[in-house]
Amino acid sequence: AMAYETILVDKRDKVALVTLNRPKALNALNTQLMKELVTALTALDTDDSIAAIVVTGSEKAFAAGADIKEMQGKSYADMYREDFFSEWEGLVRVRKPIIAAVAGYALGGGCELAMMCDFIIAGDNAKFGQPEITLGVIPGMGGSQRLTRFVGKSKAMDMCLTGRMMDAAEAERSGLVSRVVPAANLVDEAIKAAEKIASFSLPSVIMAKDVVNRAYETTLAEGLRLERRMFHSLFAFEDQKEGMAAFAEKRAANFKNR
């Protein structure tokens, strides 16, 4: 196994917990962290012992953004030639569900990383923001696009133009996060959600993720057609027989494709 310096990977029963670990920089996302996180998540995606992933930070910060000190001195030529931070796209290719468990600051690239995950569970001390405007730049890892899809134009404009933060309650009200839990229970609650997902038939889990994501990439008619075809295809798996038999027999399902 590869040794990581900026993240911790803890493999449990069917669930992996990945913790961003640059505490002195409030988990600011630098190139090394990006490479390690994308490498780790890609490896977990093909690891048969894992069915769902939780990504978290510390109680103070999920991630306080891209590493400003790393970016500071770069020229336009550097940014363009490196295609700076484009490798984050690797995260979106992961097929297994990724839950972001966000406590504390999720700012700039930190908010954008959380939004690249499949859903966000927030601790009640979470703070979300796109403060790039205060640095003389704009969001660069999807903030202008994903935040707008999550919370709508008005709030996305407000966040991107004023740089203000949203607390956990506002984030839940606005649809940015799926649930808010006490910060002290955040990781446990996220692991519990991941374990629940991991108890289901993996092909159905991956297809559910895939079709929901398609809702953002295609027309309603195409999305509905894809959903129906994927629904049909799950009848090729024994687990459909098992899940429906278990219901009819009033017992718990014992899925094979876990």
Separation CA 132–CA 156 (nearest Å): 13
Q: What is the largest CA-CA distance in the chain?
A: 65
Residue choice 36, 45, 118, 132 for contact with ligand CO8 (CB under 6 A): 132
* Placement of tokens 């629904």 in the chain: 231
> Does 62 participate in binding ligand CO8 (rule CB under 6 A)?
no
- Compare residues 164 and 241 and give the one whose CB is closer to ligand CO8: 164
Q: Is 28 in the site for ligand CO8 (CB under 6 A)?
A: yes
33 sits near ligand CO8 (criterion: CB under 6 A): no
Q: Which of 108, 183, 186, 197 binds ligand CO8 (CB under 6 A)?
A: 108
Which among 59-67, 152-160, 198-206, 239-247 is the span making contact with ligand CO8, rule CB under 6 A?
Answer: 59-67
| Closer residue to ligand CO8 (CB): 23 or 95 | 23
Closest contact distance (angstroms) between CB of 13 and ligand CO8 is 34
Q: Is 123 exposed, middle or buried (0-12, 13-18, 19+ CB in 10 A)?
A: buried
Taking CB under 6 A as the rule, does residue 118 contact ligand CO8?
no
How crowded is residue 252: how many other Cβ atoms within 10 Å of its Cβ? 9
How many Å apart are CA 24 and CA 178, to the nearest integer?
A: 29
Instruction: State which residue, 10 or 82, has the beta carbon closest to ligand CO8.
Output: 82
Interface pick for ligand CO8 out of 7, 16, 18, 25 (rule CB under 6 A)? 25
Please tell me whether residue 66 binds ligand CO8 under the rule CB under 6 A: yes
Beta strands in the chain (DSSP E): 7-11, 14-20, 50-56, 61-63, 98-102, 105-107, 119-123, 127-129, 165-167, 179-181
Smallest separation, CB 20 to ligand CO8 (Å): 12
Nearer to ligand CO8, 69 or 225 (CB): 69
Q: Is 65 in the site for ligand CO8 (CB under 6 A)?
A: yes
Q: Kindly list the catalytic residues.
A: 66, 109, 112, 132
CA-nearest of 73, 47, 60 to 20 is 60
Q: Output DSSP code: residue 71.
A: H
Phi/psi class of residue 251: alpha, beta or left (left: φ > 0; alpha: ψ in -120 to 50)? beta
Residues that bind ligand CO8 (CB under 6 A): 25-26, 28, 64-69, 84-85, 105, 107-109, 131-132, 135, 139-141
